[in-house]
Amino acid sequence: MSGDDATPEAAEEGRRPLRTDLRPIVEAVREADAAAFVAVGDRFDDDLRYLTRFSGPDRPYALVVVPDEPVGRAVLCAPALFREQAEREFVAPARDAAADPTEDADTGFHDGVAREVRTESVGDHAGERAAAVVDDLVDGASAAAEGDGPTVLAPASIPHDAAVYLERAGNDLASTDAVTDARTRKTPAEVDRLRRVQRAAVAGMARAEAVLAESAVVGAGEDEREADERSGDDRRPPLRWADEPLTTERLRREVNQVLAARGVRDAGNTVIGAGPSAADLHYVGDDPIRPGETVLLDISPRGPDGYYGDVTRTFVVDGDGGWERRAYVAVEAAREAALDEIEPGVPAKTVHGEAAAELAAYGFDPNAGEGEAGFTHGTGHGVGVSLHEGPSLSGAGELRPGHVVTVEPGVYDPEIGGVRLEDLIVVTDEGYEILAEYPFGIVPEKRPDAR
């Protein structure tokens, strides 16, 4: 886990320098007895965004990292039109604040890895440009004499065409998990960003809960009752809000307006299901919201630095205390059981095991398959520049300080609905911290901070 040198003022503003420690990548190259590490992608490639902090363009570019004195060297092959932005986002933030600008350009970097931007041969494929940099930086004379090319590490997700260009240049490619492993443990600066976007997510949740609390329960008119009798549908009429029927799409728009006002993007991740569609883990359609049925809201916006939030709550307006109440109590208990297990050194899958056991104690199937009634997913996953990343609370490995994960047990019945409660937590030396707390309760209320 890398450290961040931040002033107290920057820490108070939640704007510590956001920079990536590239030493684990250099160490992975050395341990594999390889010559270099190469990543190729565009602004939508989360690994490359994490490694470089470079936010453009939408066409491929490349990063090459090699061991060097005192630690290593990293070269970003950027399009010429983006050189200034690349210098600003990739090179400048990685320098220590106390570094002397008159010193050698290769010194003064926080992790000892010198950074530079190259814009030569911009018409060539990013894989070709990366191969040229590897050839320039790596002494492959001895390997070439033996008929072997240098070994280059790359993420498993490297584009096929980039891999072909690297191999045609005489390099032997080997896959590495070094980036995936490095991303699991967040720096204080990363936690700042996650906390900021999570606060926006809970503000969106407060707006949704307020709308549900303000909604009116209405009785069915004669025409509606006759239509229901003909169709065999005994569901109650939709709630009304602002003089119109309330739907999941209307509620989603209210949430997304709050997210935008807080400076984050909904990223198409505002999931709201009502009644049976609440059992759909990724529902983004338009359903009427009815009294007595579960309304499940899963809000996962993305902040300006690429980090996600993730929060889920479930509400019922004018419920009768049946399945939904029993499910809610069970999920609350499972959440507490999961949180009780979280501390450094605990096997991640223990957290899932405790949550599943608690749901089973309440009579819900803890191993239900997709489309079945019960607990159909893992208890949690990592969150960072990807909405779903390591570690998994159902996977191998132990929890470590700096892991940021969701805790989100849930139970579902495709014919009735679903209940899920989710928070985003960071594992600390002493246990864990919830990054942005939000109240619980199946009956919606208008909270003081909701507009």
For residue 6, being part of any structural domain is answered with no
Q: Nearest Cα to 62, choosing from 193, 169, 187? A: 169
pLDDT of 57 reads 85
Say yes or no: 280 and 330 in one domain.
yes
pLDDT of 16 reads 81
| Predicted confidence (pLDDT) at residue 296 exceeds the cutoff of 80 | yes
For residue 446, being part of any structural domain is answered with no
Say yes or no: 228 and 175 in one domain.
no
**How much is the mean pLDDT over the chain?**
91
pLDDT, mean of residues 296-311: 97
CATH code for the domain in which residue 370 is found:
3.90.230.10
Say yes or no: 160 and 217 in one domain.
no
Say yes or no: 159 and 50 in one domain.
yes
Please name the residue ranges forming H helices in 233-322.
248-261
Segment 33-46, tens digit of pLDDT: 999 999 999 999 99
| Paired tokens of 310 | 């993730």
Question: How far, in Å, CA of 296 to CA of 279, rounded?
Answer: 8
For residue 1, being part of any structural domain is answered with no
- State the Cα torsion 313-319-320-325 to the nearest 10°: 0
Q: How many CB atoms lie within 10 A of CB 448?
A: 6
For the purposes of burial, counting CB atoms within 10 Å of the CB of 221, is it exposed (0-12), middle (13-18) or buried (19 or more)? exposed
| Predicted confidence (pLDDT) at residue 146 exceeds the cutoff of 90 | no
Domain containing 139 equals: 22-183
Say yes or no: 193 and 286 in one domain.
yes
For residue 441, being part of any structural domain is answered with no
Query: Where does the pLDDT of residue 101 fall: very low under 50, low under 70, confident under 90, or very high at 90 and above?
Result: low
pLDDT, mean of residues 304-323: 96
> Do the Cβ atoms of 414 and 276 come closer than 8 Å?
yes
Q: How many CA atoms lie within 13 A of 301 on its CB side?
A: 29
β-pairing verdict for 240-241 and 36-41: unpaired
CATH code for the domain in which residue 100 is found:
3.40.350.10
pLDDT, mean of residues 446-450: 76
Please name the residue ranges forming H helices in 218-322.
222-231, 248-261
Segment 184-225, tens digit of pLDDT: 999 999 999 999 999 999 999 999 999 999 999 998 654 455
Q: What percent of the chain has pLDDT over 70?
A: 89
Q: Of the residues 183, 206, 239, which one is the last residue of a structural domain?
A: 183
Q: Of the residues 183, 201, 234, which one is the last residue of a structural domain?
A: 183
| Predicted confidence (pLDDT) at residue 104 exceeds the cutoff of 90 | no
Say yes or no: 142 and 236 in one domain.
no
Query: Where does the pLDDT of residue 7 fall: very low under 50, low under 70, confident under 90, or very high at 90 and above?
Result: very low
228 compared with 159, residue with greater pLDDT: 159
- pTM score of the predicted model: 0.91
Segment 228-246, tens digit of pLDDT: 544 446 889 999 999 999 9
Q: How many domains does the chain have?
A: 2
For residue 142, being part of any structural domain is answered with yes
For residue 440, being part of any structural domain is answered with no
Segment 250-295, tens digit of pLDDT: 999 999 999 999 999 999 999 999 999 999 999 999 999 999 999 9
Say yes or no: 142 and 220 in one domain.
no
